[in-house]
């Protein structure tokens, strides 16, 4: 406000150079903004999303489970509730991550012009991408941790390996947040956004969530195995039921690739949109 002259405490941006420099090492400022926004305006939405998978668990697991009885898995029989709970845990991580990284991002990008404002400062597109994705990831992690506690209380964690379900759901949330934001950054209209839901719902219902995928013909199984949720469900189910084997690392790898692809495309897209 006073005469321009001296510069005070300017953080010299690090990382790449140029108009479209990628990274200023300040994604925490983007996250801090998200916390504040959540606190002051939309915490109710956050809380409501938390209960959704719990309702599924109670109705399907406890209610329907009484009719179904045991489910045969490769490592022996488990109760129906213990069979679907890890799947719903993966879904909880997915939902939390997807909500923040798709509709929220779509709104900020197209209507609130939030990223335009951010990228007029010393922030780079990677700061924005990482900040927003981390926020979505934390929301997914928050949903999933709560759900894991409910599972514990209901006796649905059958092994100490279940502790590793926590980092596993972080990974799953990270993957969905990252890919979700990348896809959203290419969307221009509400109709296109609906396609995301169009993919999410069948994926939720069919990815070995409520019954094993062996009921499908081989071709359908392949399609499901190509989708991300199935990998999450298998990974988490292996951990909470104690059926741990090296093959689970393939699922971890799947998510690692998904995270990298998502961050790379989100960053590229933000750069193309706001730093032309």
Partner 1 sequence: MPAPVITARDLRKQYEDVAAVDGISFEVSPGESFGLLGPNGAGKSTTMRMVGAVSTRTSGDLEILGLDPNAHGPDIRSQLGVVPQADNLDTELRVRENLLVYGRYFGLPRRTIAERADELLAFAQLEEKSKAKVDALSGGMKRRLTIARALINDPRILLLDEPTTGLDPQARHILWDRLFRLKEQGTTLVLTTHYMDEAEQLCDRLIVVDHGRIMAEGTPAELIRAHSSREVLEVRFGADRNAEVAKRLEGVGDRIEVLPDRILVYSANGEAELVRITEAGLHPITSLVRRSSLEDVFLRLTGRSLIE
What lies within 8 Å, CB to CB, of 99 at 6+ separation is: 45, 49, 136, 139
**How is 70-98 classified by DSSP, letter by letter?**
EEEETTEEEEHHHHHHHHHHHHHHHHHHH
CA–CA distance, 59 with 53 (Å, rounded to integer): 10
Rounded to 10 degrees, the C-alpha dihedral 62/65/71/77 comes to 50
Under rule CB under 8 A, residue 2 binds partner 1: yes
One character per residue 33-72, x = contact with partner 1 (rule: CB under 8 A): x--xx--xxx------------------------------
Q: Is the CB of 13 or the CB of 146 nearer to partner 1?
A: 13
Q: Shortest distance, CB of residue 120 to partner 1, whole angstroms?
A: 4
Q: Shortest distance, CB of residue 102 to partner 1, whole angstroms?
A: 17
Q: Is the CB of 124 or the CB of 238 nearer to partner 1?
A: 124
Under rule CB under 8 A, residue 9 binds partner 1: yes
Residue tagged 């980092």 (tokens):
167
Under rule CB under 8 A, residue 20 binds partner 1: yes
* 76 beta partners: 73
94 and 229 Cβ atoms separated by less than 8 Å: yes
* Residue from 109, 114, 233, 259 in contact with partner 1 (CB under 8 A): 114
The contact set with partner 1 (CB under 8 A) reads 1-4, 7-13, 17-21, 24, 26, 29-30, 32-33, 36-37, 40-42, 112-114, 116-124, 274-276
């Amino acid at each position: 406000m006073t005469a321009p002259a001296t510069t005070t405490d300017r953080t010299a941006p690090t990382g790449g150079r140029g108009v479209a420099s990628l990274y200023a090492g300040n994604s925490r400022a983007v996250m801090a903004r998200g916390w504040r926004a959540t606190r002051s305006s939309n915490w109710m939405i956050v809380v409501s999303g938390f209960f959704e998978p719990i309702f599924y668990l109670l109705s399907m697991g406890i209610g329907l489970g009484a009719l179904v009885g045991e489910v045969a898995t490769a490592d022996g029989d488990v109760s129906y509730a213990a069979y679907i709970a890890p799947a719903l845990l993966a879904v909880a991580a997915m939902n939390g991550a997807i909500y923040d990284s798709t509709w929220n991002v779509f709104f900020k990008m197209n209507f609130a012009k939030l990223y335009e404002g951010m990228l007029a400062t010393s922030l780079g597109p990677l700061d924005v991408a990482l900040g927003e994705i981390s926020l979505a990831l934390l929301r997914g992690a928050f949903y999933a941790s709560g759900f894991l506690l409910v599972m514990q209380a209901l006796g649905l964690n059958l092994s100490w390996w279940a502790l590793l379900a926590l980092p596993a759901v972080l990974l799953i949330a990270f993957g969905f947040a990252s890919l979700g934001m990348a896809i959203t950054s290419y969307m221009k209209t509400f109709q296109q956004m609906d396609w995301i839901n169009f993919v999410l719902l069948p994926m939720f219902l069919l990815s070995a969530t409520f019954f094993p995928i062996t009921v499908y013909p081989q071709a359908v199984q392949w399609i499901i195995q190509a989708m991300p949720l199935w990998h999450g469900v298998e990974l988490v189910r292996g951990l909470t039921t104690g059926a741990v084997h090296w093959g689970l690392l393939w699922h971890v790898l799947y998510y690692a690739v998904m995270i990298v692809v998502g961050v790379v495309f989100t960053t590229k897209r933000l750069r193309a949109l706001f730093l032309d």
